[in-house]
Amino acid sequence: MNVRMTASRLGLAAAACLAAAPGPVCAQARGTVTVDGFRSAALGVRKDYLIYLPPSYATAPTRRYPVAYYLHGAWGSEDDWAQKGGLDAVMDSLIAAGMPEMIVVMPDGDDGFYTTWAVPYHWKLCPARPDLREPAARYCVRDPRYDEYVARDLVRDIDATYRTLADARHRGIAGLSMGGFGALALAAEYPDEWVAAASHSGAVALLAQSVDTATGVVTYAARPDTAGQVWALLRPVFGADTADWWRRDPLGRIRRMDAAARGRLPALYADIGTEDELLASNRAFHLELSRLGVPLDYHEYPGRHDWPYWRAHLAQSLRWLSSHIAP
């Protein structure tokens, strides 16, 4: 068990267990969460990840499992889904209730938006940044190619280290906020790696300022620096040019595909809270995909851009992913 998981996290896990499946299933067999890591060629550094191994992993030595990758949000870490979301308790409850077992990987994505950055990056200057929220050894990378890190390096390491069903048919990806952006963007950029991708409160189509649901008219910002208070975080990643933004945004990626390529996209899911500041952006994403003929399992629920919302809907995305990646 990860030594950084505290008693407060255990309380969240118990609450999540009861929320996902109230009753005696919370006392059933449990999976394990451990910390592992590897050196990423794309980033040029070692990165840690948390991994949930289902209850039968230790007792069924020849069995192989589908894998779901869960990405954290900006200003977050690889611990978030377990510490704040109680993901392992939710998984245990869902499995006890009959959902097929699967491995869940929770990688460290820094604030990299799971993409290759647009602005030239000088890694030697990173340790001196005044805004570092983690030790430089955990946060600074040599080359910010966060898309290749997840879709290529991490997937290869997981398949080589653990007993996975090592093909796209049994692999899915999900995330919240920045991680929701990452899940959808990686699904569009690397459709050969996943069969399904899910977003909670995804930071997608951030240049969308308003959506008229009656007419279907979407108003987009002319410049990225109108994206609000997160501009300082986003500019190194996306640059100051709207073309660079759309080149990385999942909607922009899907727009550039021809019809045949769109037909090969993984299954897509997105949900968003009706009091979330990213509601207009998610509505724009849904509307534009509908125009392109790309299916999106889209939902709006009461809630804000916060952990109470994500904890409330984590079981939903886990069940949805399982329905696509289970053997």
Q: Which of 123-132, 169-178, 220-229 has the lowest mean pLDDT?
A: 220-229
What number of other Cβ atoms are within 10 A of residue 160's Cβ? 10
Count of structural domains, the chain: 1
Is residue 1 included in any domain, yes or no? no
Structure token pair of residue 165:
């069903």
- How confident is residue 11, by pLDDT bands cut at 50, 70 and 90? very low
Give the pLDDT score at 7: 32
- Kindly state the tokens that stand for 143: 């080359």
Residue 301 reports pLDDT greater than 80: yes
Q: What percent of the chain has pLDDT over 90?
A: 75
Residue 234 is predicted with a pLDDT of 83
Two structure tokens written together for 176: 């919240």
Rounded Cα distance, 22 and 323, in Å: 22
pLDDT computed for residue 119 by the predictor: 86
- Cα–Cα distance for residue pair 41/38, rounded to 1 Å: 10
In a domain, 291, yes or no: yes
What dihedral do alpha carbons 243, 246, 252, 255 form, nearest 10°? -20
Confidence category of residue 1, pLDDT binned at 50, 70, 90: very low
> In terms of Cα–Cα distance, which of 258, 238, 208, 242 is closest to 118?
238
Residue 3, pLDDT score: 35
The whole-number pLDDT of residue 14 equals: 43
* Confidence bin at 16 (pLDDT 50/70/90): very low
Q: Is the pLDDT of residue 158 over 70?
A: yes
Diameter over CA atoms, the chain: 57
| Bigger pLDDT: 158 vs 6 | 158
User: Residue 245: which pLDDT band, with cuts at 50, 70 and 90?
Assistant: confident
- Residue 18 pLDDT more than 60? no
Q: Kindly state whether residue 110 falls inside one of the protein's structural domains.
A: yes
pLDDT in the model for residue 224: 74
Q: Residue 243's pLDDT band (boundaries 50, 70, 90)?
A: confident
Structural domain contains residue 2: no
> How do residues 247-288 score in pLDDT, each as one tens digit?
999 999 999 999 999 999 999 999 999 999 999 999 999 999
Instruction: Give residue-wise pLDDT tens across range 54-100.
Output: 999 999 999 999 999 999 999 999 999 999 999 999 999 999 999 99
Q: What is the pLDDT of residue 124?
A: 87
What pTM does this model have?
A: 0.90
Domain range for 171 is 7-325
Helix (H/G/I), strand (E/B), else coil: 269: strand
Q: What is the mean pLDDT of the segment spanning 12-26?
A: 47
DSSP secondary structure letter of residue 152 = I
Across the chain, what does the average pLDDT equal?
A: 90
Instruction: Write out the two tokens for 100.
Output: 């097929």
Give the pLDDT band (50/70/90) at residue 226. Answer: low
For the chain, state the CA radius of gyration: 19
Place of tokens 């048919």: 169
pLDDT at 229: 61
Q: Residue 70's domain is classified under what CATH number?
A: 3.40.50.1820
Determine, yes or no, domain membership for 247: yes
Cα distances from 204 to residues 176, 230, 276, 279, 283, in angstroms, run 11, 13, 13, 10, 10
Which range among 60-64, 131-135, 165-169, 180-184 shows the weakest confidence by mean pLDDT? Answer: 131-135
The C-alpha atoms of residue 237 and residue 118 are separated, in whole angstroms, by 6
Taking the C-alpha atoms of residue 106 and residue 50, their distance in angstroms, rounded to an integer, is 5
In sequence order, the 6+-apart residues with CB closer than 8 A to the CB of 238 are 113, 118, 224, 244, 245, 248
Domain annotation covers residue 279? yes
What is the torsional sign of CA 150, 156, 158, 159?
positive
